[in-house]
Amino acid sequence: MMRASALLPVLLATFAAAAPGVTSASDRARVPGASFATILPPAPDAKVATVPAFELDRTPVTNAQFAAFVAANPRWRRDRVARVFADSAYLQHWSSATQPGRGTGNQPVTQVSWFAAKAYCEAQGARLPSWHEWEWVAAASATQRDARQDPAWRQTILDWYARPASSALPDVGTSEANVYGIRDVHGLVWEWVLDLGSMMVSGDNREQGDPDLAKFCGSGALSLEQKDNYAMLMRIATLSSMKATYTSKTMGFRCAAGPE
């Protein structure tokens, strides 16, 4: 059993290399629904988030997969993309408008905007995961669904965030799988989420004298919980600093399926 699960990512990677961009449901792992204490409260008076069961890509989307998408959807080529959907650094690290750099096919695609990531997932009949879905999967270790109180696991994750970014990204699928069989949630790239526009903690909002009156309807700005959970706070800070057109050398994504 151990052998088989260790072999799976290798097989998947081989498959992805042979048929780039082909994503079938079997590339996604099923995550049962859950209610959990979230770092980003769904409402000012609610500290528990509930996510229905969903499926999530086992690994981040690769350069080869994204190249297949670009070939089928030329409006997402770097030389044709509308500036309103992606900044000028979009896919600039590729060899050409259609080809990733040699040997980078199995690396996670980065320098893609939220709009491009969203369009990719929609082209697969999927969507980006919500923050809460991503957060819940990120709470899992190899053995536990919620390992957030495990000091050893927490330290492993923090060590990655403390490590300087190396020039070349590793291939996807090389890190240890979590309890769902999902890999690279930590330790590889930042990832876009569907509800990017819900982070509600941007500096702009905090600068407002009275956000409740000045800018918000319904309720005020959401505050963050679990202030000692640095790894998750860094994720939120990074996401909330990104606009949907921005691209970054360390921002990739994966797709999810199922009702939001």
Partner 1 sequence: MKRMAALLLAFLFAVDVVAKESDPPESIYQLDARLTDQSGNARGLDVYRDTRVLITMFYGSCQATCPLIIDTLRSTERGLSPEQRAKLRVLMISFDPERDTPRALAEIAATRRIDTTRWTLATADAETVRSIAALLDVQYRRLPSGEFSHTAVITVLSPGGEIEARSTKLGRADPELLEHLRR
Q: Which of 73, 144, 175, 205 binds partner 1 (CB under 8 A)?
A: 205
Q: CA 138, CA 132: separation in Å to the nearest integer?
A: 10
Q: Which of 69, 76, 115, 153 binds partner 1 (CB under 8 A)?
A: 115
Instruction: Give the residue with the Cβ less far from partner 1, 83 or 102.
Output: 83
With binding defined as CB under 8 A, does residue 83 bind partner 1? yes
**Which residue is associated with the tokens 């819940």?**
136
> Least distance to partner 1 from the beta carbon of 87, Å?
12
Instruction: Give the residue with the Cβ less far from partner 1, 174 or 198.
Output: 198
Q: CA 99, CA 62: separation in Å to the nearest integer?
A: 12
Residues 27-46 that bind partner 1 (CB under 8 A): 42-43, 46
Q: Which of 64, 139, 199, 236 binds partner 1 (CB under 8 A)?
A: 199
Sign of the four-CA dihedral 235, 238, 242, 248: negative
With binding defined as CB under 8 A, does residue 189 bind partner 1? no
Instruction: Give the residue with the Cβ less far from partner 1, 182 or 222.
Output: 222
Instruction: Give the residue with the Cβ less far from partner 1, 15 or 246.
Output: 246
With binding defined as CB under 8 A, does residue 61 bind partner 1? no
Kind plus residue range of the DSSP H or E element containing 30: strand 28-31
Q: CA 180, CA 167: separation in Å to the nearest integer?
A: 29
Q: CA 139, CA 232: separation in Å to the nearest integer?
A: 9
Q: Which of 53, 82, 142, 234 binds partner 1 (CB under 8 A)?
A: 82
With binding defined as CB under 8 A, does residue 85 bind partner 1? yes
What string marks each residue from 213 to 242 as x (binds partner 1 by CB under 8 A) or -? -xxxxxxx-x--------------------
Alpha carbon 211 to its chain's center: 29
Structure token pair of residue 256: 């999810």
Q: Residue 253: name the closest of 117, 157, 130 by CA.
A: 117
Q: CA 33, CA 5: separation in Å to the nearest integer?
A: 23
With binding defined as CB under 8 A, does residue 207 bind partner 1? no
With binding defined as CB under 8 A, does residue 196 bind partner 1? yes
What string marks each residue from 129 to 168 as x (binds partner 1 by CB under 8 A) or -? ----------------------------------------
Vertex 119: Cα angle to 117 and 123 (nearest 5): 120
**Could you tell me if 17 and 106 are in contact, meaning their C-beta atoms sit under 8 angstroms apart?**
yes
Q: Residue 48: name the closest of 158, 151, 135 by CA.
A: 135
Which residues in this chain contact partner 1 in the complex, by CB under 8 A?
A: 42-43, 46, 82-85, 114-115, 118, 122, 127, 194-200, 202, 205, 208, 214-220, 222, 243-244, 260
